[in-house]
Amino acid sequence: MKDTGQVYFTHMRLHDDEGNIYPNGGVTIAFTFEEKENTGVINYAVAICSKFDGFEKRQGRVKSAGRLKSPHHAKAFQVNKDITVHDAVSWLRSNVIWSTKVKAALDVDNLY
């Protein structure tokens, strides 16, 4: 990835065991990439939509992008500076989305 300052987003939705997506609940992650010497840093923030509320990607983008600017909500991790956007999304989905905090907030085990 190149350090462009661009904000990327990924969305996850609630689904049942058969893969049917629910209209309510979900997660949006906003993230950026920074190059630092021989490494890279992914900065990210999460917006969680309650399972009682209709999921709107636009609202998730607004909230997660706003939290990305907040030192209280934003998190970071180091990566190889040659990481691709696809690899960054895969890491975020597997490590952030399935965190205990996100699962507890949504009170579910199934995100898609």
Residue 9, pLDDT score: 94
Q: Show me where the domains of the chain are located.
A: 8-106
Residue 96, pLDDT score: 74
Average pLDDT per 10 consecutive residues for the chain, totaling 112 residues = 80 82 88 86 89 90 94 86 85 72 59 48
Residue 101, pLDDT score: 60
Q: Are 8 and 85 in contact (CB under 8 A)?
A: yes
Question: Given strand 21-36, what is the order of strands in its sheet?
Answer: 8-15, 21-36, 39-54, 75-79
Residue 78, pLDDT score: 87
Which of 79, 59, 1, 65 has the alpha carbon at shortest distance from 29? 65
SS3 97: helix
Residue 49, pLDDT score: 87
- As given in the structure block, the two tokens for residue 101 are 């905090």
